[in-house]
């Protein structure tokens, strides 16, 4: 390899790596402060991973929301007040900063349904008022599940089952407003092995709202609230690549996750986790073989690319950024990128598995 793959990783994992997980924290370059969002003040006091990270403008929008009765405000704010003396050494002035935002007790008592209702209505109101048009302008009418620390006081018992720390659903476009972690599934479908390997690569439709006409992973999509990763993967395989469920279930292989922290050009935080799958298609003489082809209007076409062709497309920026990251992970796992030919091998591997500093599905804390 003549060029490093690190720039491909940096297009998705572009939030500074020296970001601290102690809160409130700030961007090490811009100085913008991020206030942790928790379900309860008890969770903040226990120093648990926050549900999300709020920019100052978002905190202000929450504080400025108008309600007929203050007792109906769904938000509570932990304030930290400092006193500064003036030149005459008088009492000075007070400066107040929000150190944490959490749900009011009456919202928390209403459980997941009420928390979800409050969050949805807030996002809908802001969208109507044209607040935060960057993320909310891409409204999808599709909800993602938002997670809290499994040690949160909201959860009544120690439940070690996967995904048992689901807190509430939220419209996917609003997740970046609150700095919530989002989750998706990405699969690489391929034929052959080693130097003879070829990967099925789709081109996104030119009408897609995001990254039109870019190359993509064989199959990829977000995980809707209420779905498990494998259920979402099987659904996407049918919708995007016309791959039947029986073939997918027979040949699919879970390969873990990749994690990265993306910050948009306009400063919104998008910590993301992608569940990664491989699908080695059977030999074409096998009766179960199915040729991947578009099933909906999200994919324009599929191409079967050699590894050199995939690498060339990665280096020339033809892939949607996070899909490029997933492909780099695939190439490393299959021994097609090694420490001997990639000068930034170690940094690449840890940048695809970084801690995000916000809550993720249990049993992680």
> 271: part of which helix (H) or strand (E)?
strand 269-280
159 and 261 together in one domain: no
Residue 257 lies in a domain: yes
Do the Cβ atoms of 242 and 295 come closer than 8 Å?
yes
Please, what are the averages of pLDDT over each run of 10 residues along the chain (365 residues)?
Answer: 88 83 77 94 94 96 76 86 51 69 95 96 96 94 96 81 93 97 98 94 88 94 96 96 96 97 95 98 91 87 96 96 97 96 96 93 73
Q: Give the residue from 162, 178, 194 where a domain finishes.
A: 178
* Alpha-carbon span 114 to 296, nearest angstrom: 35
Return the pLDDT at 29. Answer: 85
Residue 237 lies in a domain: yes
What SS3 class is residue 161? coil
243 and 336 together in one domain: yes
* Alpha-carbon span 98 to 296, nearest angstrom: 46
In this structure, is the dihedral angle defined by the CA atoms of residues 172, 176, 182 and 184, taken in order, positive or negative?
Answer: positive
Q: Give the residue from 156, 178, 200 where a domain finishes.
A: 178
* Alpha-carbon span 28 to 106, nearest angstrom: 36
What's the token pair of residue 189?
A: 């479908």
What domain range includes position 49? 32-178
> 302: part of which helix (H) or strand (E)?
strand 299-306
| Residue indicated by tokens 């940048």 | 351
Domain count, the chain: 2
Residue 26 lies in a domain: no
48 and 78 together in one domain: yes
What's the token pair of residue 257?
A: 């996750």
250 and 323 together in one domain: yes
Task: Give bridge partners of residue 191 from the DSSP assignment.
Answer: 198
289 and 202 together in one domain: yes
Q: What is the DSSP string of 89-143?
A: -SS-EEEEEEEEEEE-HHHHHTHHHHHHHHHHHHHHHHHHTT-SHHHHTT--S-E
Residue 363 lies in a domain: no
261 and 344 together in one domain: yes
The pTM assigned to this predicted structure is 0.91
53 and 129 together in one domain: yes
Do the Cβ atoms of 6 and 260 come closer than 8 Å?
no
Q: Give the residue from 178, 207, 231 where a domain finishes.
A: 178
Q: How many C-alpha atoms does 66 have within 13 Å on its Cβ side? A: 0
Q: How many residues does the chain have?
A: 365
């Amino acid at each position: 390899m003549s060029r490093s793959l690190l720039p491909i990783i940096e297009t998705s994992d572009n939030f500074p790596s020296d970001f601290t997980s102690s809160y409130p924290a700030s961007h090490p370059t811009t100085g913008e402060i991020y206030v942790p969002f928790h379900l309860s003040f008890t969770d903040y006091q226990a120093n648990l991973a926050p549900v999300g990270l709020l920019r100052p403008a978002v905190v202000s929008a929450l504080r400025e929301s108008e309600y007929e009765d203050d007792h109906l405000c769904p938000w509570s704010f932990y304030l930290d007040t400092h006193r500064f003396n003036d030149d005459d050494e008088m009492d000075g002035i007070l400066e107040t900063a929000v150190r944490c935002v959490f749900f009011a007790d009456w919202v928390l008592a209403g459980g997941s349904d009420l928390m979800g209702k409050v969050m949805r209505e807030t996002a809908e109101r802001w969208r109507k008022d044209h607040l935060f048009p960057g993320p909310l302008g891409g409204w999808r009418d599709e909800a993602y599940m938002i997670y809290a620390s499994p040690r949160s006081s909201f959860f009544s018992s120690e439940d070690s089952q996967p995904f048992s720390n689901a807190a509430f659903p939220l419209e996917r476009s609003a997740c970046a407003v609150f700095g919530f972690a989002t989750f998706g599934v990405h699969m690489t479908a391929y034929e052959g092995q080693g130097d003879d390997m070829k990967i099925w690569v789709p081109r996104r439709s030119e009408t897609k709202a995001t990254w039109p006409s870019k190359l993509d992973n064989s199959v990829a999509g977000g995980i809707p609230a209420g779905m498990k990763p494998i259920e979402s993967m099987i659904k996407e395989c049918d919708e995007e690549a016309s791959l039947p469920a029986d073939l997918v279930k027979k040949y699919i292989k879970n390969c873990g996750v990749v994690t990265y922290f993306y910050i948009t050009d306009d400063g919104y935080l998008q910590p993301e986790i992608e569940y990664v799958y491989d699908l080695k298609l059977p030999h074409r003489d096998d009766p179960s073989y199915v040729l991947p082809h578009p099933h909906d209007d999200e994919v324009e076409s599929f191409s079967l690319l050699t590894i050199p062709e995939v690498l060339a497309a990665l280096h020339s920026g033809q892939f949607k950024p996070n899909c490029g990251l997933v492909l780099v992970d695939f190439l490393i796992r299959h021994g097609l990128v090694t420490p001997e030919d990639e000068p930034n091998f170690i940094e690449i591997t840890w940048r695809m598995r970084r801690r995000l500093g916000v809550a993720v599905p249990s049993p992680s804390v």
